Amino acid sequence: MSTAADPKGRVLVIAGSDSGGGAGIQADIKAVTMLGGYAMTAITAITAQNTLGVHGVWPVAQDAVQRQMVTCLADIGVDTIKTGMLGSAALVEIVAETLDERAREVPRIVDPVMVATSGDALVDEHAVSAIASLMLPGAALVTPNAPEAEVLTGKAVDGINGQRRAAEALLERGAKGALVKGGHIPGKILVDVLQTETGEWIFESERIDTSSTHGTGCTLASACAALLAQGQSVPAAVEAARLYLHEAIKQAPGLGQGHGPVAHNWKLLDQES
């Protein structure tokens, strides 16, 4: 396992699979790879999913999830860990226990995936409570959107002041960094609020008028994980990850009839043009 002084870009992603390729493990692998990292996976659920919605969810056995984690940690090692869809409280407990035993000092990026872009629920209320109590404490970065931040903190998140209050509450719950995203908050300018133990950063970008937003949360969190795994600070990683995602949304391929995927490979497309 590498140390902070010797980052190798290895990211272990613990999340669900998206058969449509726009979100979940598939988006995670694409984002980590495109930003120079090396992605490993522990798949927590199989979903039948496309741009129109989630049409089925099949949880992976808890011992299988744990074995995937342990196998990667024992041999390849890891520089950051990114968690996504953890569908049950029992699974959250297994993941938290395994990380505590085998990767206690490794920075964790927690994307508290609760609802798909289509509006379909992906976790139950017991899992949400377990994520708040077991995954947030000690996390290097937690990346909720506004609705997720409201559920986790009980704070109204309908503007920058609400985002700030929610970020503060997440730090009080033990997270070392909290990025409360503003994509669900109306306005021409999209504002994300990052707070860490050392300060606050406000990131702004022009909102893109598009339906190609499937997997944006997964993509941003995994982009942050890839950059942190290569030695960047949390604020620098968030800034660079946002720029990567913004361009991926701008160059989205327009696939599907609903919320389409972003162009994770836009850097390659730019090189070819």
pLDDT block averages, 10 residues each, the chain of length 273: 68 97 97 98 96 94 98 97 95 97 97 74 81 96 95 93 97 98 94 97 96 96 98 98 98 96 95 78
The reply to whether 47 belongs to the active site is no
In the set 83, 213, 219, 224, the catalytic residue is: 213
The reply to whether 216 belongs to the active site is yes
Which pLDDT value is given to residue 172? 97
Which pLDDT value is given to residue 5? 53
As a 3-state breakdown, the chain gives helix, strand, coil percent values, each rounded to 5, of: 40, 25, 35
Which pLDDT value is given to residue 116? 62
The reply to whether 213 belongs to the active site is yes
The reply to whether 218 belongs to the active site is yes
With b meaning 16 or more CB within 10 Å and e meaning fewer, what string describes 60-86?
beeeebbebbeebbeeeebbbbbbbbb
In the set 216, 219, 224, 260, the catalytic residue is: 216
In the set 20, 22, 217, 260, the catalytic residue is: 217
Which pLDDT value is given to residue 118? 62
In the set 30, 82, 155, 181, the catalytic residue is: 181
Which pLDDT value is given to residue 3? 45
**Residue that has been written with the tokens 């404490």 in this structure:** 137
- Residues contacting 162, CB < 8 A, separation 6+: 146, 155, 156
The residue among 112, 115, 114 whose CA lies nearest residue 135 is 112
Which pLDDT value is given to residue 1? 47
The reply to whether 215 belongs to the active site is yes
The reply to whether 82 belongs to the active site is no
**Residue that has been written with the tokens 């903190």 in this structure:** 153
Is 10-265 in CATH node 3.30.70.20? no
